[in-house]
Amino acid sequence: MTSEPSGNGKHSEHNAVTSFLRYDKTAPLKEWKLLIVDDEDDVHRISRLSLTGIRYDGMKIRFLSAYSKEEACRVLKENDDIALVLLDVVMETDHAGLDVAAYIRNDLQNYLTRIVLRTGQPGQAPEDGILDRFDIDDYREKTDLTAQKLRTLVRSNFHAYKDKRDLCQITHRIININEISHGIVSCESIFEGARYVYRTLVKLLTGVTVDSEDDMKGHIFSFINAGGDHITYIDYITSATVPEDKLPDNIIPRTIRENRAQHSGCRYTFMSSADFHGMVYYIENSGDELIEFDQDIANLLQETLSTHYRNMYLNDLINRNQREIMYRICEVVETRSKESGVHVKRVSAYCELLARLSGMPSKDVELLKKAAPLHDLGKIAIPDEILHKPGKLNDYEWQVMKTHAQIGYEMLKDSEIELFNVAAEVAFYHHEKWNGKGYPNGLAGEAIPINGRITAIADVFDALASDRCYKKKWPMDKIYTLFKEERGQHFDPHLCDLFIEHFDEFVAIRESLDSGELTAEEMFQNLGPQKPAPEAG
């Protein structure tokens, strides 16, 4: 050869997968596209004549023709599903054919299409390195290709193209399953996970993006008693019970009873389950193109969904057990302090709001929200005559009262439960002051953990706004003024600014929760992860 083609193609299976992912070929093949690239009319005519009537895997051949490098590149760009290119090496230049091969592999990043080089000049055969670089699948002299040999070559390359395409489709779907798996792990509740799974399945199967929660109604169902004669179905978005004969499709109960993904026409179902309960997702594809349904891949996806569902259910069970433990502890606190029930509920709500305003990650907000009710746990060790004294404490009594922070910390610290460790931090630090004049350790500034700084504001606000055995509640304007005065003294200045800016919201929380004493059970019944608000459409 007098010169090499442009490009520096490097073939690999990864590139083949990348090519497939880029074009996302999910529709089944309906015909074999064969591109003949040659500058001689006779080559096109003889090739078509030799292949007349040939079918492979029940599909006929659709012939495409190009007579130059430029024309070949245009046809290839317009048809990304060409199975085989019969490519002349020498056309308008000695390496025009290799330039086309470089365009396929480098510019189009297409590593699926099979390339067979043909030449009428045996003395100009390309070097082995060039064949490898551009992933040339075969090299033949035109005089060597009889009609039968050409038919055999075409069949073998169609077979190889189909195998490679099928492999890339399976790889693509497994990658999608892996991406779904990673996405579910980041979800903080079963409800959030269900919404994520449905949106993702719809996107994969139909190409449609679901933004509105209204679009999910009638498509996500929870179920119980899957092993019995009667199954209860609940629309997971509306919480309405749905009789089996009112379900949108009979493949939904079939999915549960057979424990396998289903499809019927352009309708699909997938299930995630744990023992006798779970979720089923119903997807409708209203598009013209039927998605190729692979039962094995669908079952693999369903098993992946079930694994994550079981893990999320167990995690939710653990959270409920933790809340039950917290409930029992607060029952003990309630027996010692009349103020604790409604006070700790409000402090928890204030902490949640202030933490969100500060930009704290949602997981940490939830932990603080659940831990805040135990901020005064140490008071169970304070004698009644001090805890309920109707007047001002003397110096000795005040020193005893201050020990409740250390006592609460000692009771909760070093737990293997993250929630208790956060509660220990809250109990220990919520009486520290930004200026270093608080207790028990006289810490200042950001040396005080943020959970303690947030709880300090919440606790003082509710204490000032409440009647206590030793004082009457303050009016809101007086409380507002105090926080402005204590900014940078008692309280973190940034958090205090947020509190002052949103003061009316904190007052509204107090008023909504100021309807009387709450039992510990009432106090904790809403402290778990809440159903998220619908996303903006």
Which letter does DSSP use for residue 468 in this model? Answer: B
Of 278, 272, 264, the C-alpha closest to 234 is 278
**Burial degree of 50 (CB within 10 A; 0-12, 13-18, 19+):** middle
Of 301, 308, 287, 274, the C-alpha closest to 201 is 301
**Burial degree of 454 (CB within 10 A; 0-12, 13-18, 19+):** buried
Sign of CA dihedral 360, 363, 367, 370: positive
At 36 the three-state DSSP class reads strand
Cis-peptide, bond into residue 449, ω within 30° of zero: no
3-state SS, 372-440, equals HHHCCHHHHHCCHHHHCCCCCCCHHHHHHHHHHHHHHHHHHCCCCCHHHHHHHHHHHHCCCCCCCCCCC
Task: Please state, in angstroms and rounded to a whole number, the distance separating the CA atoms of residues 234 and 242.
Answer: 6
Task: Please state, in angstroms and rounded to a whole number, the distance separating the CA atoms of residues 226 and 169.
Answer: 33
Torsion angle (degrees, nearest 10) of CA 506, 507, 509, 514: 140
The residue assigned the tokens 């352009």 is 266
Q: Are 50 and 183 spatial neighbours (Cβ–Cβ below 8 Å)?
A: no
- 36: which 2 tokens? 């003949």
Q: Are 349 and 513 spatial neighbours (Cβ–Cβ below 8 Å)?
A: yes
Query: What are the backbone angles phi and psi of residue 246, rounded to the nearest 5°?
Result: -105, 0
> What is the amino acid identity at position 37?
V
The answer to whether residue 379 is catalytic is yes
Which one of 69, 164, 345, 379 is the catalytic residue?
379
Cα angle 186, 187, 189 (rounded to 5 degrees) comes to 150
Query: What are the backbone angles phi and psi of residue 499, rounded to the nearest 5°?
Result: -65, -45
At 110 the three-state DSSP class reads coil
Task: Please state, in angstroms and rounded to a whole number, the distance separating the CA atoms of residues 279 and 234.
Answer: 9
Sign of CA dihedral 325, 330, 331, 333: positive
Query: What are the backbone angles phi and psi of residue 486, rounded to the nearest 5°?
Result: -90, 5
Q: Which helix (H) or strand (E) holds 7?
A: none
Through-space distance between the first and last CA atoms of the chain, rounded to whole angstroms: 61
Cα atoms found within 13 Å of the Cα of residue 537, Cβ hemisphere only? 7
Task: Please state, in angstroms and rounded to a whole number, the distance separating the CA atoms of residues 478 and 523.
Answer: 28
Question: So which residues are the catalytic ones?
Answer: 379
